[in-house]
Structure 1
């Protein structure tokens, strides 16, 4: 154990989190793209503007007790009306990519695809055109959690296989209207969190948790098929003439075995398979990982031969969201919350056996700063799935909101700068390892509505003053990125 830990500490020094080595733009290939990320529900607001329909998060956030500060995203940070200002910020900071999502209920208010909302099409056309005018490449996610409420209420949302056809129609419409200018598409963002948060623990919309041993895996199954259906449409109808690419966006906390014991090594591998393998194994191997089949049995749905055919070659790249890591040991009776976590038979730990902590803690209870975990996840994906192209779609850390701290102190986010230095150096090292990483987007451009945490957590490179007209103030980390991105141009 002591030797294993020592190796990780050495890696930590080499990955750039140690101040002895400063990461710079020249550590990345010339065509590597750097961007920032957001999502529609978290920043847009304008829930009753432009013909937008209701989403499941509109309903969920208005249920008392679901959001810790009692807030909602009816206004959010008003990106719907301020998108030009926000795109100007992206440009001034030197980013060449913007990863954002399209609100499904803004395109089809009822989700059914019977009538396109032209005002919604116009809004995203304006966003895309404004980005291109500034030389910023749009990376568009089709689904970032805001399912049209009508689809949930009328057919059960992701629990009904009909959702695959409705999502395919939505995707087709987006390709048709935006694909002449959008060349980078993500289908679904973090299907793991949608399935577990929405249908297991109930901490996310739609907040179901009474039949989790079935619904969690059924919802995930339908998301995988919806992804594959959208990719099939793009490949068959649009790819040749539009020349773009399309992939799935998954998330993973790296799991590091807490000892050299075989049961802990297996537990760590199992943990990663339950996170990444749940969604990537079907796309590359046609079925779920054996570790999931062994533990879940008939609770995992089966793919038909037709499904397996659809799944083949159903991603041009992998989008990865990576924030943190955990030490993992085998636990016969897991104390983790929810059916999905318990089924893994793992214990997640933040301290080494000698008491040292895995990494400094950010504001969220789940987020420990572990740069070397990024390199390990990237290498795992490369080795397991035959070195696919990877775009990091989200990576960042949060501060706690504190009304008593002066604005200039909130803007001087030194810890976030060190976070990015460490994680970016880890990405650069993975590229040297041979991993095909092609882009990186920081989460997030703006402080915003952080789901069940409301406005209590701030992930933004740009501070949003919630009490004074939603004024934007770039933080020190934003200026650090501006300097970093200029590095190879001088």
Structure 2
């Protein structure tokens, strides 16, 4: 296929988005290059990363082993670039340099993670607090603020101390709530005078479905893949919710009034489009929204899991006590949304026909193609992903209408480029970011309370089994030249967007 110039590629995407949008959406997407000045002055524009994907220094600075240190070490051959996991891109040692790269981007916020294993090596207060780890994050946060970049902190981004997993079986054990509360209290007390945006968990549904329902990267998985009648995924997410609500209650009671920050949770946010116009497929798409967003947000907004989950999961779905229900309801100030793509949802009553990451109980299978053989949007030639900015708009409108128009931050949005020969000329990423920023503005113009947008990722990150093959960063990291950070075309575009409303 003939390569598009960045402008032509953006226009190709926009023409399809506009074709499928209502007039108000189309109006918000007409400008090929978005204008920073069209957003509120306090809107957060940033980029993100997570500790376990960039820090390295796995055995340095007093850090304890994390769950993923153990998983990757024991199954290194199944991970692309598994030999690089213990060092990663050495952000732990090069954070000052990385902050300067962020400053050069012109962003006013940086989404980061604090590693539980680095500040509390075995996950417990009894096991001790690691002062070197505490100091590292103090220095990083201070350096960000000195460069006019607000830290946007995730408390747990998939990883947690291996010791807690070995002793308690991690989040399958309800007693982990006490240790998580101690960890959060330490963070709020230590960093809350400077951190004004906290998120308790990143994508809890992914951990529940990936590691516990389908059993990936789990040596002690529940043997339910053949029957599809799994329980542990629901137990894990239930305990995530209890932890989240416990942390929010703690923050509001002891810290929020003086520190004047906010606390939320980050959700994986695919948008589900009906496979066909048949009512069973329309219902399937609605069910998947309930089994994805509703699984987390319904208890927070309405006090219990969605009714359809109660019906289809039955007694495998845990129940909240009245005390827990009261604690969970209203336990967030904002929702973080990680949006990358949309997929088609098809009714499927046979559990054995599900996609490897589908929820068996939703009785809905996800598909790349619809009944007519079409994808949701044009396929990006470098990632193979269907690009569908309208899906983000539809998702934001859905959240506005179903969840009382919450404050929203788009905490991750980006595209990989594994098939690109020259990673520094990532024009597909420019096209992707530009159209999704325009979509965000269209949602704001339709009264959705979006408060920020973060590109994933700031730097090339270790993306689990894919390693560095996806080249997700705005900055390329050259493993053949002392981990040199090199801005890609997308980094230059983002900087120009932030500073001068770039026109090519």
Q: TM-score, normalised by structure 2?
A: 0.90
Provide the C-alpha distance between the structure 1 equivalents of 2:482 and 2:140, rounded to a whole number of angstroms: 22
Q: How far is the alpha carbon of 1:460 from its aligned partner? A: 0.3
Deviates more, 1:349-358 or 1:273-282: 349-358
Q: How far is the alpha carbon of 1:197 from its aligned partner? A: 1.7
Task: Quote the residue 1:47 is aligned against.
Answer: 58
Do the aligned partners of 2:17 and 2:388 also contact (CA within 8 Å) in 1? Answer: no
Task: Quote the residue 1:310 is aligned against.
Answer: 327
- How many residues are matched? 481
Q: How far is the alpha carbon of 1:78 from its aligned partner? A: 0.4
1:371-418 superposed Cα distances (whole Å, 9 cap, x missing partner): 11000111111111100100111100001167xx3xxx2101001100
Instruction: Name the CA shift for 1:348/1:162 in 2 (closer, same or farther; >3 Å).
Output: same
Which residue of 20, 24, 32 corresponds with 1:10?
A: 20
Task: Quote the residue 2:468 is aligned against.
Answer: 455
Which residue of 91, 107, 113 corresponds with 1:101?
A: 113
2:110 maps to 1:74 = no
Instruction: Name the CA shift for 1:20/1:440 in 2 (closer, same or farther; >3 Å).
Output: closer
2:77 maps to 1:60 = no
Provide the C-alpha distance between the structure 1 equivalents of 2:358 and 2:343, rounded to a whole number of angstroms: 17
Q: How far is the alpha carbon of 1:134 from its aligned partner? A: 0.2
Do the aligned partners of 2:29 and 2:442 also contact (CA within 8 Å) in 1? Answer: no
Task: Quote the residue 2:396 is aligned against.
Answer: 378
Provide the C-alpha distance between the structure 2 equivalents of 1:92 and 1:103, rounded to a whole number of angstroms: 25
Q: Give unmatched runs, 5+ long, in structure 1.
A: 1-5
Task: Quote the residue 2:9 is aligned against.
Answer: none
2:480 maps to 1:467 = yes
Q: How far is the alpha carbon of 1:33 from its aligned partner? A: 1.1
Q: How far is the alpha carbon of 1:331 from its aligned partner? A: 1.5
Deviates more, 1:363-372 or 1:115-124: 363-372
Do the aligned partners of 1:15 and 1:372 also contact (CA within 8 Å) in 2? Answer: no
Instruction: Name the CA shift for 1:140/1:19 in 2 (closer, same or farther; >3 Å).
Output: same
Instruction: Name the CA shift for 1:45/1:16 in 2 (closer, same or farther; >3 Å).
Output: farther
Aligned to 1:357, the other structure's residue is in SS state coil
Q: TM-score, normalised by structure 1?
A: 0.93
Provide the C-alpha distance between the structure 2 equivalents of 1:188 and 1:389, rounded to a whole number of angstroms: 17
Instruction: Name the CA shift for 1:87/1:164 in 2 (closer, same or farther; >3 Å).
Output: same
Provide the C-alpha distance between the structure 2 equivalents of 1:123 and 1:210, rounded to a whole number of angstroms: 41
Instruction: Name the CA shift for 1:23/1:70 in 2 (closer, same or farther; >3 Å).
Output: same
Q: How far is the alpha carbon of 1:489 from its aligned partner? A: 11
Task: Quote the residue 1:252 is aligned against.
Answer: 269
Name the Cα RMSD after superposition: 2.4
Q: How far is the alpha carbon of 1:211 from its aligned partner? A: 4.9
Provide the C-alpha distance between the structure 2 equivalents of 1:346 and 1:92, rounded to a whole number of angstroms: 45
Q: Write the mapping of 1:108-187 to structure 2, written as runs, cut at 5 A.
A: 108-114=120-126, 115-187=128-200
Q: How far is the alpha carbon of 1:303 from its aligned partner? A: 0.5
Provide the C-alpha distance between the structure 2 equivalents of 1:206 and 1:309, rounded to a whole number of angstroms: 36
Which residue of 317, 320, 328 corresponds with 2:337?
A: 320
Provide the C-alpha distance between the structure 2 equivalents of 1:364 and 1:331, rounded to a whole number of angstroms: 31
Provide the C-alpha distance between the structure 2 equivalents of 1:485 and 1:285, rounded to a whole number of angstroms: 38
Which residue of 88, 91, 95 corresponds with 1:83?
A: 95
Q: Any runs of at least 4 consecutive aligned residues in structure 1 with deviations exceeding 6 A, and if so which?
A: 16-20, 363-366
Provide the C-alpha distance between the structure 1 equivalents of 2:501 and 2:387, rounded to a whole number of angstroms: 27
Provide the C-alpha distance between the structure 1 equivalents of 2:30 and 2:85, rounded to a whole number of angstroms: 39
Q: How far is the alpha carbon of 1:93 from its aligned partner? A: 0.9
Q: How far is the alpha carbon of 1:422 from its aligned partner? A: 1.1
Q: Give unmatched runs, 5+ long, in structure 2.
A: 1-15
